[in-house]
Amino acid sequence: MTVVGLGIDTVDIDRFRLAATRTPRMLERVFTEGERATARRRPDPTQRFAARFAAKEATWKAMGIGLWSVGYHDVEVVRLPSGQPTLRITGKAAELAAQLGIVDWKISMTHTDTVAEAIVIALGA
């Protein structure tokens, strides 16, 4: 495997919480049903939402594309049976990933009370 791209993103959790409060439909526009369900299993889902938002942004950076190049739902953070996070790429994002020769993804997410961060590595054959 070779590294095709690397992306990192950081999200201020209070700022994200404010945006979600001001625009309640944002969560449906940005996150898939599965991502919303996973985040809402926690007493304060904002940290989980912010980490997943950072993962989406980091994925676009790893692909070398801009914010509006693909839809938010085209990049979904899912969990493997082991609990490890990974990405499910669909739609236009999957087409672009195939053109770039990306065959696998590595992702790491973390958060504190104030900051969420994600790192994504795009791998080629």
- Tell me the C-alpha distance between 2 and 48, whole Å: 29
DSSP for 58-83 reads: HHHHHHT--TTSS-GGGEEEEE-TTS
48-79 residue pLDDT tens: 999 999 999 999 999 999 877 899 999 999 99
- Tell me the C-alpha distance between 120 and 24, whole Å: 27
Domains observed in the chain: 2-124 (3.90.470.20)
Neighbours of 28 (CB within 10 A): 12
Percent over 70 (pLDDT), the chain: 100
- pTM for the model stands at 0.94
10-47 residue pLDDT tens: 999 999 999 999 998 999 999 999 999 999 999 899 99
Q: Is 84 exposed, middle or buried (0-12, 13-18, 19+ CB in 10 A)?
A: exposed
* Spatial contact of 112 and 46, defined as CB atoms under 8 Å apart: no
What per-residue confidence (pLDDT) applies to 120?
98
